[in-house]
A and B are shown apart, each in its own frame.
Chain A
Amino acid sequence: GQQVMQIPQYQHVQEGEDFTTYCNSSTTLSNIQWYKQRPGGHPVFLIQLVKSGEVKKQKRLTFQFGEAKKNSSLHITATQTTDVGTYFCAGRGVFGNEKLTFGTGTRLTIIP
């Protein structure tokens, strides 16, 4: 079955440093979504990417979808303490399966 891996599993950064998490799928994806889960909270949708090579920005967050539609990345510029949490990617396969497969997640902690 489809597998979605994320690296790194954990990332500790000084406040103000940049952060990147990478998402890799074992199969080609029709689209990819990103979610953020704050400590003690539930996942909250951030964005969806659909097109090959697509890049979207939300303030300090930059999301990319790979040309082959098998990988994606989330980059945060100049991290702030509010960025703390676990970031999940979630991909849907190309063969009409409605189920999203969530990645393993990257937990970001910020050192003030």
Chain B
Amino acid sequence: GAGVSQSPSNKVTEKGKDVELRCDPISGHTALYWYRQRLGQGLEFLIYFQGNSAPDKSGLPSDRFSAERTGESVSTLTIQRTQQEDSAVYLCASSLGEMGRTYEQYFGPGTRLTVT
């Protein structure tokens, strides 16, 4: 079946503009994660959804970052008033979700964001 998809694959934006990044998880996956990966660096956790609720938003770097998920499916990560330090690859992952169990995460190809 189809994997996790993300759009756009690349986004170049001017400093100060808002951007929206989209993630379509694997059908039936109730858990959804957003990560940020700067060039040559590790995975920085941003936010986690279980269904449509976000029990863990601890990784959002500032109030310029927000995310939502609707219909236990698509998720959107919004960055307002982008700054150059926001430049990175934003990765989305989904997994089956069940309290007390850990499932493998399936990652999308990512959105490469460049803020000029």
A98 to B93, CA, bound (A): 14
Confirm or deny: B65 has a beta carbon within 8 angstroms of a beta carbon on chain A: no
Complex interface: chain B residues within 8 A of A48 (CB): 102, 104
Complex interface: chain B residues within 8 A of A98 (CB): 31, 48, 50, 55-56, 97, 99, 102
How does the 8 Å CB contact mask read for A85-112 relative to B, with 1 for contact and 0 for none? 0001010100011111111110100000
What count of chain A residues pass the 8 Å CB interface test? 25
Q: Is the CB of B107 within 8 A of A88?
A: no
CB-CB under 8 A for A42 and B108, given A99-B45, A105-B42: yes
A35 to B107, CA, bound (A): 10
A35 to B106, CA, bound (A): 10
A84 to B4, CA, bound (A): 24
Confirm or deny: A66 has a beta carbon within 8 angstroms of a beta carbon on chain B: no
Complex interface: chain A residues within 8 A of B93 (CB): 43
Confirm or deny: A44 has a beta carbon within 8 angstroms of a beta carbon on chain B: yes
How does the 8 Å CB contact mask read for B33-58 relative to A, with 1 for contact and 0 for none? 10100001011010010100001101
Interface of A toward B, CB cutoff 8 Å: 1, 30-31, 33, 35, 41-45, 48, 88, 90, 92, 96-105, 107
Q: Which 7 A-B pairs have the closest CB atoms?
A: A45-B104, A42-B107, A102-B43, A105-B42, A92-B102, A104-B42, A43-B107
List 10 A-B pairs, Cβ < 8 Å. Answer: A1-B58, A30-B102, A33-B102, A33-B105, A48-B102, A92-B102, A97-B56, A98-B55, A99-B33, A102-B35
